[in-house]
Structure 1
Amino acid sequence: MRGFHHGRGYALCAAALFLSLLPAAPAWANRVQSLNLGTTDAGTWVSVGLEAEAEFSLTADGDTLRVRITGAAPSATITRPGKGAVAEAKVVADGSDALLILRLVSGSYTYRAYSKRNPFQVCVDVIPKGGVVVTPDFTRTDGDIKLIVLDPGHGGSRYTGTATYDERIAEKEAVFEQAKILKKLLEEKLGVEVVLTRTGDYEVGLKGRCLMANEIGADLFVSLHLNGGSSSAHGTETFYLISGQTTTTRAAAMLENADFSSDPDLDRVTKSALEFILSDAYQTLVLEESARLANYVHAELLDELGLKDRGVKQDNFAVLRGTHMPAILVESYFMTSKREADLYTNSEGYRRVAEAVYRGIAAYVEDYDERME
């Protein structure tokens, strides 16, 4: 009997050893709950419902969009028939991540990925170029700033922006890291919804960035950039749109200066939309608020980074021209300055820039709310 017990013990140990050597099932802390899509007058929307919040990034390859949702996966592949611009939508498990794959109907589109809360959803909008241009309503009735668009400049293989003095990091990478940190700060501390104009390393046209902000009814638009120049150039500067031109001159400049070959989104900005966006009454209202926002953000950047004050300036940046809301463009420091790039082109530097911009936006929102009371 004793031998029998020893034999059973050896068998159990062997079984336990065998099971321990089997590959463990993925222990996902998050799960895909649903996949839905529909259409509006502007285009096609897709939403993926999740158990909890998750990071995500969008990439485009021809007529296929892929959104990787980190640390989540469906219990089985979920497929939905197409609607509108989407021929087919499905979510599959890819390692420990979920992968939303959208096969588009042949055409030319503007697209964006963003999130919604309560419950958490990862959403994609696919908007045909030449589609609806939404007429803005810039008379707020509730006095609240609820939606902010952050625009990490550049993106894709053609538009990398300025590089550090030693070609170590491209501007597009650094500002994207800043934007992700800033988005989290704004959502968690200010309680606003934040949308990024790009959620990965892909190309978005300058006008596409403006149109994205306009179509979702953003209250503020903040474009994040880093400066470049000679090795001796240094400091912080913040921009908002130039004033002092007539409506006709501004509209003409917008069309004449456009690079149609490199910005395929431009064809969606019609002449009537230009006349409305660039109306003198509207520009006066928006420029006053843009100047306030620029000054708050600039002051916080100077305080945090301690760099030369190059001033709050007005310029005719394309990414600011077509927005329907207060809009600024931030140049936090010079990538071509060895001192500044070494100080701030790293994880700690990204955090410091993001926190300074956050404090500036928060101060503007507080000031705005007080003036609206």
Structure 2
Amino acid sequence: MIGWVKRMGEELAEEQLLDFCQRHGLAKDGYLDETELTTVCKCIGLQVSSEMIKELFEELDGDKDGRVCLSELSQMLRGMQDKLPPSPEKHKITNDTGNSRQVGKANGFANIPVNERGAFSILDRENTGFAKVGLILDLWSQLGIIESEGSKLLSELGFTPNSKSHSINLQDLAKSVEDEIDHSKERIPLAFQVALLTYRTESQFLKTLCESIECERDKLKADILDAHQRSALIAQEVDEQNARLERNSQMLIRKMEIKYNEQIQDLQNRFSAEKESLQQALHVAETKLQELQEEDSKLKTQINKLNEENTNLEKEVHNVSIEIRNVNRMRSHLEREVSRFI
């Protein structure tokens, strides 16, 4: 585990680690959990087992809270890099009296694990780990190696395909090519070795960059999927809320309709009762009015009769008064006559 921790420390400084985590949405609070630590290792191109990740995580998680501080991780990486001996991957160039220069084997292709090289990944788009001989020979033909020389090279590398449709393990092929280059490096000019190593290093860097971009892409896809799920959940909640509001509105409307129908029915009943009562009162009033009218007619008739009788009585009184005056005159006359005779 120490070996890959050292290499990790060489590749990522503290600022780079922080920037990397920020770009990938990791350790937002300055801490990594075990899953995020695994994601970091995967995105920077480290092929490590889950046991190694767990061992490192347990070493850093001193307080056993299930989190690892980014600064502690960075300090540990730097500390491991400082304490470990110089890496055998660093090449050495010497200039002796014969002006000869030597490149150590560690500076060859052994510093790149076979499972990380991906030298023939162009032939394995489906990541099966195998490719047909015909495809390999076609690829080499495009690189300037004729088919006969390609077949001979396969045989020299220990592969004896029966036909072009025969499949070869690409990892074994890459390892055989690397071993052959390491064994024959003394015959390869230094400039070619440096150029080849430079291109391989650049290829590994680009592969790591692509993996990092793929990791970012996967995270963006996950974020988009999460956003879609959240939006779908929000839309579902909105629909449910609207449905609840609609149901509540319908229930309220039905309750109001029932209430108002009851009130209208009560008012209609009261109106009918009052109408019937008024009709009865009107009938009684009309009957009484008719009786009063009849009685008034009778009274008028009686008044007319009384007026006639009164008129007759007044005439009789007038006549009687006349007679009384006449009688009084006669009495006066008689009294004068009587007094004259006396």
The TM-score bracket by the shorter chain reads: under 0.3
- Structure whose residues are more often helix by fraction: 2
Q: Select the structure with the greater relative contact order (CA < 8 A; seq sep ≥ 6).
A: 1
- Structure whose residues are more often strand by fraction: 1
